[in-house]
Amino acid sequence: MLRFVLQEVRRAMPKRNERQQQVDRLFELLDRFDTDATVVTSVRQPVAMREAVKVAVALGLDPTPNDAAVAALRDRLESFAQRLALDAHYAAHPEARPSLAERALAAARLDDDPLADEPELLARAADAVARLRAGATADDVLLYAAALAEAQSA
């Protein structure tokens, strides 16, 4: 999977600047996680986090605190890689970027929000929110649409 994502990033960025080389390096390192040697390291963390990990291990949610920490870091790095790949994909194919209304509809569906059954309302709300707020998010649209729905029912 990561190899495919790296290929997409490379295809979208044919000229390799320093940042793009760093992106390549991130993907290459992620690809080696399962076969690479391990090292001992020290991480400063909140006491409550350390205790919470101990409780999670005691509950059988992870075999060891180390496994929990490695899995969390891996998940975080993979999410960075996915974001970079998505950004590269949208740079190469801007027409593929979902609209604010489409993102709001997807968020509503993921949350089983009743607004998922109101795509026209979400589209109107997205248009209004985009005019009112630069950088509006799907959550902004959902909140605005919920207010519109409430006002209509009152």
48-87 pLDDT tens trace: 999 999 999 999 999 999 999 999 999 999 999 999 989 9
Q: What is the pLDDT of residue 19?
A: 84
For residue 42, the one-letter residue type is S
Task: Note the maximum CA span of the chain.
Answer: 63
Q: How many CB atoms lie within 10 A of CB 87?
A: 15
Closest C-alpha to 66, from 53, 75, 76: 53
Residue 97 DSSP class: S
pLDDT, tens digit (0-9, with 9 covering 90-100), for 140-151? 999 999 999 999
User: Residue 8: is its pLDDT beyond 80?
Assistant: no
